[in-house]
Amino acid sequence: MRTSFHDLERRISRLERQIQPPTPCNCRLVTHFHNAHCLAAILEKTERKCPVHGFREMGFLFQRSCPYPVVDEDNQFCRCPPHPWRSLQLRRDSVTKEDCAAAMQAWHDNPPGPESNFEFQENSDRTKSLFKSYFEERHQWPRETGRQLPSLEERRILHAKQYRRSGNR
């Protein structure tokens, strides 16, 4: 059987990947945060460089309400007050029906207090300014370095792969 040059090339690159797996891109599809403090901590402490693209694309920045966890990698930086439902989802051991019911009950018994207008305004101003500096940085990166950031489609594919690797957690 004849081996074409193309086949050979493919085989070699497969072998190379086995010997030295490519450093994966860590760009994101989405970053969640609970409030401006949470976002500031995430943007400050999470890895901000991508081994492939240089600048790490953080994806859509979405505010999530406190019962729901942020991205796994960022949980360690979220200093928001614990919430029974979030704590339940972050548990690494198996969760029973009773645990769920207890968390639901605790959530129901302690609804989050109303935010004052001042807090709301402060949070929204701070969030806007964090968005602004992140997006400015992101906009400048390709201009200053001539490098490309991954497209939305590339990030979707990557996200699907990571999701499968994480065992659909």
Q: How far is the CB of 27 from Zn ion (least distance, A)?
A: 3
**Binding to Zn ion in span 68-127, by CB under 5 A:** 78, 80
Q: For tokens 């360690």, what's the residue?
A: 76
- Write the interaction track for Zn ion spanning residues 7-26; mark x where CB under 5 A is met and - where it is not: ------------------x-
Ranges of H-type helices in the chain: 5-19, 36-45, 84-90, 97-109, 117-145, 152-165
Tokens (6 digits) for 59: 């994806």
What minimum distance in Å lies between the beta carbon of 68 and Zn ion?
A: 10
The footprint of Zn ion on residues 41-60 (CB under 5 A) is: 50, 52-53
Query: Is 27 an interacting residue with respect to Zn ion (CB under 5 A)?
Result: yes
CB of 1 to Zn ion, least distance (A): 39
Q: What is the dihedral of CA 44, 51, 137, 45, to 10 degrees?
A: 0
Give the amino acid at 133. S
Single out the segment in contact with Zn ion by CB under 5 A; choices: 34-42, 104-112, 132-140, 159-167. Answer: 34-42
E strand segments, the chain: 30-33, 49-50, 54-55, 60-63
Q: Which residues of this protein are in contact with Zn ion, per CB under 5 A?
A: 25, 27, 34, 38, 50, 52-53, 78, 80
